[in-house]
Amino acid sequence: MVDKIVVTTFAPVVIPTLCRYQHFRNCLETLAQCTWAEYTEVYVGLDYPLNESHCEGYDKIKNYLEHFSVKNRFKKLHVIMHKTNQGVAKNLKAICDVVSARYDRWIFSEDDNIFSPNFLVFINKGLEKFKNDPTVISINGYRHFYDIQTCGNSFFRQNVDFSAWGYGIWKDRYEAYKDIDRKYFRRHAYSLKSMAKMWRNGYMRLAGMYSCAGKHWNGSKSDNVLSVYMALEDMDVIMPVVSCVRNCGVDGSGVHFVDVDRNFYELHQNQVIDDKDTFHFIGTGLEYYIENKRAFRTQSYGRISIFQLFRIMVKFYLSELLGGRNG
């Protein structure tokens, strides 16, 4: 059965970058080849070099953007250039502040993604289909390698792993979580109900809640933080059965995955992604929900042992006792 989703608002794409020239170029070039690229505005946030090692890649990206031809590719390309180094979080916030003043939805991508031809179709249709469903936090184009069960459905829902490797989100859901702070997670750290929720999502998610509640959390809204948040709020992400995104950043060039196992690297570099030009939402997304939640919990990249979890919990409560719960 073909879906009858009509998209009238095409979400812009925001991409923060700094100096990974080849990654960024591959990202933008494959995005330009997506169906509906000609209806899409792209906002690039080019951060300023923090040190000398960033300069060569930065200069290449700057030159590439200055000569990038939008004709027959994107509706428009916007470049936000910073005069001082902002860091990842502030660079992203600057772009989101701009698009949130103009749009009620947008698509985020890291600068090291490669896209399927149907990536923009999947995200835009998903943003339209679930815009009035408060139990959905985002439409995620990347699909993990975990062994999920399907029965003819083209997408599924899960609330264990949020992935920032290419996702669409609505302004209201972004506004709901962007200002959450340590106090939010501390409240949940003392709630048996919240502990039970996170326990059902795996040791790593319960540990993540305590890490966010701790004094050393820097306030960033990373994949792990959003994975905890969506579980606490009883929200799901929508993912395609066949990934629409391949991430190439596990080569050690990014902020995360600095030291990676060779097999892990090869797995991501060679990930099969969808080759279709369009996407149709088939099924409810709830097929095998419990079974697939178990697969995400037990196969997660970030899974830890119960001993690691216990250590993190003890560290949190000792810190609370010694520093005072209002510290």
Q: pLDDT exceeding 90 applies to what percent of the chain? A: 83
**Residue 217 one-letter amino acid:** W
Domain boundaries, the chain: 6-113
pLDDT digits (tens, 9 = 90+) for 91-144: 999 999 999 999 999 999 999 999 999 999 999 999 999 999 999 999 999 999
Non-local (6+) Cβ contacts of 264 within 8 A are 250
At 251, the pLDDT band (50, 70, 90 cuts) reads low
> Is residue 121 a contact partner of residue 240, using CB atoms and an 8 Å limit?
no
Residue 268: name the closest of 143, 167, 166 by CA: 143
Determine whether 92 is exposed, middle or buried from the number of CB atoms within 10 Å of its CB (0-12, 13-18, 19+): buried
* Total residues found in the chain within this entry: 327
Q: Beta 136-140 vs 236-240: how paired, if at all?
A: parallel
pLDDT digits (tens, 9 = 90+) for 310-319: 999 999 999 9
Question: Edge-to-edge, what's the strand order for the sheet holding 76-81?
Answer: 76-81, 41-46, 13-17, 105-108, 167-170, 136-140, 236-240, 155-158
Looking at residue 327, its pLDDT comes to: 46
pLDDT digits (tens, 9 = 90+) for 233-245: 999 999 999 999 9
Q: Range with the lowest mean pLDDT among 156-165, 260-269, 284-293?
A: 260-269
